[in-house]
Chains A and B, each alone.
Chain A
Amino acid sequence: MSEVTFQIWRGDRNQGAFQEYKAEVTEGMVVLDVVHKIQAEQANDMAVRWNCKAGKCGSCSAEINGMPKLMCMTRMNTLPVDKPIVIEPMKTFPLIRDLVTDVSWNFEVKKTIKKFKPRKADAPDGTWRVQQADVDRPQEFRKCIECFLCQDVCHVLRDHHMHSEFIGPRFLVYTAALEMNPLDTEDRLKDLKDQHGIGLCNITKCCTKVCPEHITITDNAIIPLKERVVDEFFDPLGGLFKMFR
């Protein structure tokens, strides 16, 4: 057992500051355990959003020592305890209070993406036949828990605040899951290029680094989508080839 110093952001949309807390840390604790301990013993009014404590609900997203992480999946023994551990809310979304942010923008963005539109059913009973090999790719994207850590770390949203022009890595993954679905017949490429701002992603791979579900966001979702957009809009030779095929 050791005493560790924490600096936790306290405040609302208008004002706030880091407050220092000291807490006893025991083996096996995660950051969320410590935050709960501080909340129970020293700061009863501290706001923190959490739910499953198992890395599956995506509620307890925050920034721990400057990196977007799930508090419930960040073990204390992975953090340097010789200096204060800084815990703050996600910076890309408006703050509600303390560690809780308003992520509702994401739900509005999701509505702008064209829905799943399956091909005609393969069998008379209205079902389809799909090979596992063809669903491997979209299945990786279905692991997303919507913690929005990738949105938080994306510099297009975080530093440039281009929320009205760029849907962010989470929704590029969502679009990739639909676009690569072997049953889907909808075309989202024009939207990706014009409204959803795929060209704004400059492939820094920060989203991949912070994903708690280890989805290879940049290499498997964003770049393949960029390539499909190139197919459609920036490849005259490919277009010519398709015409004569």
Chain B
Amino acid sequence: MPHIDVPLKRGRFGETSRPDNWWIQPLVVFLGFSAFICYSTWAALQGNNYASGPLLSPFYSPLLYGPEPYAWFGGGPPSWFPSFLPFSSAFLILWIPGGFRFTCYYYRGAYYKAFWQDPPNCAVGEPRKKYWGERTFPLIIQNVHRYFMYLAVAFIFLLGHDAWEATKFENGRGVSVGTLVLTLNTVLLGCYTFGCHSFRHLVGGMKDILSASPVRKKAYDCVGCLNTRHMRFAWFSLFCVGFSDLYVRMCAMGIWTDYRIF
């Protein structure tokens, strides 16, 4: 690779000629992500109030160990789980959507800026001189994103099943505010997951010739359509999944009542 023989001046941290409030965007991202991380960690640690009537919190779904009729394998914790650790069924599943978001191309760019100042914003000086990128350990691990995507796609169907189950009431099928919240959550998470860059690559991006397969071309165009709004769906779905847990939790604690629409 060619090199430049004239030493270039290295900017100081925060050095820029930009007169706008460039720090607002990374600050908002930092506060938004931090708020979600704090709330979801707290909610996962609780290990209770995650179900109310037909509603099951998305932070605990699929519920592997827990009360009937929500749990897949009965009451927990499982025998292999270390007894000295506090158990919450959320621990067993949250690493999948968490890993999917952590390795997501949109989130990577956003949190490198907001949390790591790498860079703080476009054309603004950085705090560190060394830079490894995603070429070496540890960030080379980001390349596992597609594996998390495979698992996240399965979660969309499980959450869709939860939304369907949320229409089952003691006196027959119906729709409550909780049903709508869980349905909206599934739709937004679906739009986020099926607009993923790795998914776009999987359905057609890997091919140079798409016209030979009209189904593949159509799928690629549809995913591309979601992909152009990936950032928007990343934020909406993040907010909605947090709110869904809050809604179920409030109903389970008896603070809110799940209003039945019909």
Q: Mark A residues whose CB is within 8 Å of B.
A: 13, 63, 65-68, 80, 83, 86, 88, 91-94, 102, 105, 108-109, 112, 131, 133-134, 153, 155-156, 158-165, 167, 179-182, 184, 195-197, 199-206, 209-210, 218-219, 223-224, 226-228, 230-231, 234-235, 237-238
Contacts and interface: CB of A to CB of B under 8 A. Distances in A.
Given A133-B211, A159-B11, A206-B123, A197 B135 contact: yes
Given A65-B20, A224-B205, 18 more contacts: A13-B6, A63-B123, A68-B123, A108-B2, A161-B8, A163-B2, A195-B1, A201-B134, A202-B118, A202-B139, A203-B105, A204-B118, A204-B119, A204-B122, A218-B109, A224-B197, A224-B201, A230-B145
A105 B4 contact: yes
Given A105-B2, A134-B211, A227-B205, A91 B11 contact: yes
Contacts of A67: 18, 122-123
Interface string B61-100: 0000000000000000000000000000000000000000
B217 interface: yes
Nearest to A94: B6
A56 B3 CA distance: 27
Contact of B3 (A66, A88, A163): A163
B216 to A, nearest CB: 11
A161 to B, nearest CB: 5
Interface stretch (B125-133, B175-183, B233-241): B125-133
B208 to A, nearest CB: 5
B10 A161 contact: yes
Contact of B16 (A66, A160, A162, A230): A66
Nearest to B136: A199
> In the complex, which of the residues B19, B144, B210 has the most CB atoms of chain A within 10 Å of its own CB atom?
B19
Nearest to B106: A203
A131 B62 CA distance: 45
Closest 6 CB pairs of A and B: A199-B135, A66-B17, A66-B18, A108-B2, A94-B6, A200-B133
A180 B208 contact: yes
A202 B134 contact: yes
B209 A134 contact: yes
A68 B108 CA distance: 23
A94 B5 CA distance: 9
> In the complex, which of the residues A163, A165, A196, A203 has the most CB atoms of chain B within 10 Å of its own CB atom?
A203
B122 A209 contact: yes
A107 to B, nearest CB: 9
Interface of B is mostly: loop
Interface residues of B, number: 53
Contacts of B133: 156, 197, 199-202
A83 B19 contact: yes
Contacts of B197: 219, 223-224, 227
B143 interface: yes
A138 to B, nearest CB: 9
A155 B2 contact: no
Contacts of B134: 199-202
A203 B142 CA distance: 12
B105 A155 contact: no
B198 to A, nearest CB: 6
Contact of B108 (A80, A109, A179, A202): A202
A155 B1 CA distance: 18
Contacts of B168: none
A203 B206 contact: no
Given A83-B19, A109-B2, A162-B131, A204 B8 contact: no
Contacts of A182: 208-209
B235 to A, nearest CB: 15
Nearest to B129: A160
A230 B198 CA distance: 10
B157 interface: no
Contacts of B143: 230, 234-235
A94 B208 contact: no
A58 to B, nearest CB: 18
12 contacts: A63-B123, A105-B2, A155-B118, A158-B123, A161-B4, A163-B3, A201-B133, A201-B134, A203-B105, A204-B109, A223-B197, A234-B140
Contacts of B106: 203
B117 to A, nearest CB: 10
A182 B20 CA distance: 43
